[in-house]
Amino acid sequence: MTTITTEPASHGDDHGHDHPKFLAHHFETPQQQFDSGKLGIWLFLTTEILLFSGLFCAYSVYRANHPEIFAYAHLYLNKWYGALNTIVLIFSSFTMAWGVRASQLGQKKLCVGLLGITFACGIVFMCVKAVEYHDKWREQILPPGPHSDWYNPPKGPEEPKENALEAKISADETARNKVAGEAALAGSSTPAASSAPAAPIIFTGPTTRLASDGVLVEQSAVPKAQIGPTGIDSTWNREHAPNSAALGGSSAEHVGPEPYNTHIFFSIYFLMTGLHGLHVLAGMSLIAWVMYRTHRGDFSPAYFSPVDFVGLYWHIVDLIWIFLFPLLYLIGNSQ
Amino acid sequence: MNPYQTASMNSPHDVHDAPHGVGHIVPLSLLLKVFGGLVFLTVLTVAASLVNFGEFNLVVALAIAVVKASLVVLFFMHLRWDKPFISIIFIGCLIFVGLFISLALLDSGQYRSSVIKQEAPGIKDHHTLLKAPPQ
Amino acid sequence: MTTITPDFAHSPREPALVRDNYLNHSRGFLSWALTLDHKRIGIMYLCAVLTAFFVGGMFAELVRTQLLMPNGALFHSADPNSSAVYKTYNQIFTLHGAIMIFLVLIPGIPGALGNFVLPIMLGAKDVAFPRLNLFSFYLYVTGALFAVLSIIFGAVDTGWTFYAPYSTNTETAVSWMVFGVFILGFSSILTGMNFIVTIHKLRPPGMTWFRMPLFLWAVYATSIIQVLATPVLGITLLLLMMERLLHVGIFNSAYGGDPVLFQHFFWFYSHPAVYIMILPAMGIMSEVIGTFSRKHVFGYRFVALSSIAIAVIGFLVWGHHMFPNGQSTMLGTIFSFLTMTVAIPSAIKVWNWLATMYRGSIELATPMCYAISFMFLFTIGGLTGVFLGTLSVDVHLHDTYFVVAHFHYVMFGGTLIGFLAGIYYWWPKITGKMYNETLGKLGCLLIFIGFNTTFLPQFVMGSQGMPRRYATYQAMYQPYHVMSTIGAYIQLVGFIIAAITLLQSLLKGKTAPANPWGSATLEWSCTSPPPHDNFKTTPTVGDPYDHSNLVWDDKIEGYVRDNTLAEPYTTTTHIPKQPAGH
């Protein structure tokens, strides 16, 4: 007698009435399918949390190193829009959770209605976001973009060289630095770079140059950091200084002088809210799909897991915004 | 022991019992209460931002956010009634996020004393590259 | 009929293809392209991974050929100060690394062997989410496509680590490659999710956690890492693309960013990634060594829990890739200390495998040859890792050929040899054919000899200062490089023979019985190749390493279960009759 003998009368097709249509062939019971799905979606949600964790890490590091940038630049964000978005998302989470409950109870029309409201809340959220981004565009506070002249400054007029040796050495240095991949350093490339050297080569690094008396001089070849794409220069600052009272804050907030590199804050702001916005859009499409399936009658009290799992995804989107709101909009004035 | 094996063998009619389906159902009143709590906490967090707690601004804001998040996770996301293993996964994920952020902060913290803030000369450059502010 | 009957009703010597199995269950291109059968998905992964391995290997041969001469045998320039011509070399080693890591090692064993074997070993009909499984495969293909496109649009020259700020400034096609890797990351995540849920929810009655085969423990630990670590790679690559496309200035210090932050982000994934690569290979080792020593795996619980320990501790050590790179001394010290601890679970495994072999009845079939190679090569790799984990020594050895040799010993000598062992072990189950043992063992021998010839000298020259990723070098290193290149060519011959062995088996191999090796895990109790549904009835489970009632049956040239043998036999008292030769 072997352990596994010839197969008994086909068990696979016997499941007629206790293997309902929605039950996949490799699961024994609906409970097993539901539990597996729940475990699966929670694992996926942990990956979403870890995806955003990188951005939270960047936020933490830059805020810890440059609290003045965050304290200043966040005033350009409108915290009332942020608060409105928070309330909208919380409300949508509530309607979503209620929608899952309705699906579990077989209340089809109510479920479709609630999912519709959730979807509408998503639209409201994206509209408010669009208004905020439009404000930034109006104020020219945007990421530099691929053709910005901020990241790749245009070549200025060549500074006159003191003597031929220095001109030759700086040309060599330029050629070497170009090869090293520092595209921003590509100044004028003279043909002298490829000719055989008449004088012995003195190796200078990217941060040194040879002065006329043969002494190596330390000089940073790293391009100077600009103010950034915010369009904020000190003259404009005086006219358009973020007045916390005008934005609804208390007059107790002291707005100091504009710090350098405010674009760091806005880069992080756009990355975090942009990625979050993409997830809101993805969540909205999932909700629309599940709405359609509910309307079509795919779900019942015995099988509602797609609604449940899409709901979980939507709640994670809300969860991330719950943290984004205070971190980006409500920094306060702790220096 | 596979808990799933016996169910279908013994009671093939399980799946037809409405509302004793496969999951726990949250009472509507509880959902409303949680929603109310979340709105209240949002108002609180905005109000707290108007008060200057000094160094504790961040702590207060994050604490309120954590409470809100817990409400969402426990009640809206059903974790209160789910199998404990799911909670283990979620907490584990948060531990790894904490590990990542705290070690990165620890590293950059070692150099914080040498970070140049707004007093740095020479970093600020001319403004010819910047667009004029719109009117 | 006597008490011993074969495990299937048909004649045992019947050609495999006549019986209904997963290969002939349905025909046509679409039945493969849209399949939900984990076995077919596993085959597709295997073909894709082996193709990628071939491409990556060809790049490696180019690298080694270049390094035959101090001034470069393939790419060189008359002007010693001009380095533009070496950009091609940079592109070649970058592609070698990226293809091997992201297209071969990370998806290889979980995708190809895990997909095929895991459900059958578990006694299940399929993985938990078959459609997600197919989606994972197509994500893999899409990611591979973007990687190929990146070659066409100006291949990447940053090294597989994409360090900023070079990667944000260079004009090569970084964004294409990075986007491809981003997609591959999601393939990895979804596979991990699938396996975790399958192992948790689809186990048969009687298979408690500690009655699971060790390969499943290993795959489970791998899946945990895949789920937790890969998203961080995703965000890192996303930020890199945003910096290249939108110039957000997050990793470039000229714009207020921090390059060391990029490295923290990158290595938070990439260190656990190496454990994604090695853990499944270690799982295969447990299976192969247990079967071919005809003994219960020694210290089962230790081996099982050490997989989990490696997964967890592996997240705590990423900074050891960054010791001299601008990381603070305090963090360097912390990571150096933690790196010492991660060696312990690996050592526990090696010790237990040796103890399994001790006083076992060892059969040197081809998979066992690969397994013994693994133990030798992985031990060397692991020990040299301890050198590199020591903070002060690493200052000398960082970015030298010592590192290159170390990671090739663990990734190639570890993961790839383990992968080959698994392919040769499960080949009869997958294809229903046996292969020529002599040829198989010859391939293993040549690969082993070639591998050591290639990489042992690299330890020496690395410690003498030969830097990595250099297209040219000083003349004093030439003897080592020449030896290394000769080894690479020997390996090439070895791999060709290994491939011929398998191809010959497909064309002319003998029909395989259900259980040619005498293993007690569940996948050997169904036919070779398995039927479409794996099992018609859910099997009952015993000890996966109890070989005592498996006896050799000459008629089918395989092992069958004899349940009349009530008492367990130890191999020292009763050695089942071995065939004269396969």
- B44 inside domain: yes
**Residue B2 and residue C205: Cβ atoms within 8 Å?**
yes
| Structure-token match 């399936």, residue found | A293
CA distance A228 to B131: 11
If one counts every other C-beta atom within 10 angstroms of the C-beta of residue A189, the result is 12
User: Which of A205-214, C200-209, C425-434 is least confident?
Assistant: A205-214
Percent of chain A beyond pLDDT 70? 58
pLDDT of residue A11 exceeding 50: no
pLDDT tens, position by position, C175-191: 999 999 999 999 999 99
| Higher-scoring residue by pLDDT: A318, C13 | A318
Shared domain for B62 and B101, answered yes or no, is: no
For C253, counting Cβ atoms within 10 Å of its Cβ (0-12 exposed, 13-18 middle, 19+ buried), the class is middle
pLDDT at position B12: 41
CA within 13 Å, CB half, B85: 11
pLDDT digits (tens, 9 = 90+) for A214-247: 666 655 433 333 333 333 333 333 334 444 444 4
pLDDT tens-digit series, residues C281-299: 999 999 999 999 999 999 9
Q: Does A50 touch chain C (CB under 8 A)?
A: yes
Residues 198-227 of C with CB under 8 A from A: 200-202, 227
Q: B21 Cβ partners below 8 Å, 6+ apart?
A: A30, A104, A300, A301, A302, A303, A304
Mean pLDDT for C15-31 is 76
Length of chain B: 135
Whether B84 has its CB under 8 Å from any CB of chain A: the answer is no
What is the number of domains present in chain B?
Answer: 2
The three-class DSSP label of residue A325 is: helix
Helix/strand/coil for B123:
coil
On whether the CB atoms of residues B44 and B64 are closer than 8 A, the answer is: yes
| Contact predicate A74/B63, CB 8 Å | no
- How high is the pLDDT of residue A10? 38
Average pLDDT for A42-59: 95
Going by DSSP bridges, is the β-strand pair A208-210/A216-218 parallel, antiparallel, or unpaired?
Answer: antiparallel
pTM comes to: 0.84
pLDDT of residue C54 exceeding 50, the answer is yes
Structural domain span for residue C169: 41-519+527-561
How many Å lie between the alpha carbon of A243 and the closest alpha carbon of chain B?
14
Q: Are residues A106 and A142 in the same domain?
A: yes
**Is A284 or A193 the better-scoring residue by pLDDT?**
A284
The pLDDT confidence band at residue A176, using thresholds 50, 70 and 90, is low
Give the span between the Cα atoms of C19 and C17, in whole angstroms. 5
| Mean pLDDT of the region C152-172 | 88
C165 preceded by cis ω (within 30°)? yes
Which tokens is C522 given? 């569940």
Nearest one of A49, B79, A41 to C197, comparing CA atoms: A41
Based on the fold, state whether residues B51 and B32 are members of the same structural domain. Answer: yes
φ/ψ of residue C246, rounded to 5: -105, -5
The whole-number pLDDT of residue C542 equals 80
**Can you tell me the mean pLDDT for A160-178?**
55
Per-residue model confidence (pLDDT) at position A130: 96
Contacts for C126 with CB less than 8 Å, ≥ 6 apart: A25, A26, C36, C37, C38, C119, C534
Answer whether C108's CB lies under 8 Å from C279's CB: no
Closest by Cα among C54, C70, C53, C52 to C485? C70
Evaluate whether residue A156 is within a structural domain. Answer: no
Q: At residue A281, what is the residue type?
A: L
Q: Residue B52 is part of which domain span?
A: 26-77
In the structure, what pLDDT confidence band is assigned to residue C25 with cuts at 50, 70 and 90?
A: confident
Answer with the residue of higher pLDDT: A197 or C483: C483
Q: Which two tokens stand for residue A145?
A: 């973009």
Q: Which residue has the tokens 């063992």?
A: C441
Separation CA A182–CA A174 (nearest Å): 10
Instruction: List, as ranges, residues 243-302 from C with C-beta within 8 Å of A.
Output: 245-250, 253-258, 261, 264-265
A98 and A173, same domain (yes or no): no
Percentage with pLDDT > 90 across chain A: 42
**Residues of chain A neighbouring B20 (CB-CB closer than 8 A):** 301
Q: Quick check: is A313 in a domain?
A: yes
Instruction: Give the Cα separation of A179 and A186 in Å (integer).
Output: 9
Taking an 8 Å cut-off on Cβ atoms, the answer to whether B106 and C330 are in contact is yes
Residue A21 counted as domain residue: no
Sign of CA dihedral A95, A96, A100, A106: positive
Q: How many domains does chain A have?
A: 2
Q: What domain range includes position A213?
A: 164-218
Percent of chain C with pLDDT over 70: 91
Taking 50 as the pLDDT cut, the residues of chain B under it are: 1-3, 5-20, 119-135
Q: Hey, what are C486's tokens?
A: 């000769």
State how many domains chain C has: 1
Q: Within a domain: residue A251?
A: no
DSSP A161: P
Residues 214-273 of A with CB under 8 A from B: 224-227, 231-233, 235-236, 239-240, 249-250, 252-253, 257, 259-261
Residues of A in contact with B108 (CB under 8 A): 61, 64-65
Q: Indicate whether A23 belongs to any domain.
A: no
pLDDT at A152: 56
Q: Is residue B94 part of a domain?
A: yes
Q: Do B133 and A49 touch (CB under 8 A)?
A: no
Q: Is residue A269 part of a domain?
A: yes
- What mean pLDDT comes out for the span C316-321? 95
ipTM of the complex: 0.89
Burial of C572: CB neighbours in 10 Å, binned 0-12, 13-18, 19+: exposed
CB contact under 8 A, B106 and C268: no
Query: Inter-chain contact A145–C261, Cβ cutoff 8 Å?
Result: no
Going by the DSSP 8-state scheme, the letter that residue C114 receives in this structure is I
Which chain B positions have a beta carbon within 8 Å of A252's beta carbon?
52
Query: What CATH code is carried by the domain that includes residue C353?
Result: 1.20.210.10
Q: Is the pLDDT of residue A251 over 80?
A: no
Choose between A18 and C154: higher pLDDT: C154
A65-120 per-position pLDDT tens digit: 888 778 877 878 888 999 999 999 999 999 999 999 999 999 999 999 999 999 99
To which residue do tokens 């040309």 refer? A171
Q: Is residue C569 part of a domain?
A: no
> Which of C264, C319, C328 lies closest to B110 in CB terms?
C328
Residue A158 belongs to some domain of the structure: no
Look at residue B16 in the predicted model and tell me its pLDDT.
40
Kindly list the residues from chain C whose CB atom is less than 8 angstroms away from the CB atom of residue A199: none
CATH of the domain at A140: 1.20.120.80
Residue C240 lies in a domain: yes
Q: Tokens 């199995």 correspond to what residue?
A: C21
* pLDDT attached to residue C326: 85
Residue B63 falls within a domain, yes or no? yes
Question: Which residue is closest to C525 within chain A, CA to CA?
Answer: A4
Do residues A60 and A110 share a domain?
yes
Distance to chain A for B70, nearest Cα, Å: 9
Task: Summarize the confidence of residues A10-32 as an average pLDDT.
Answer: 70
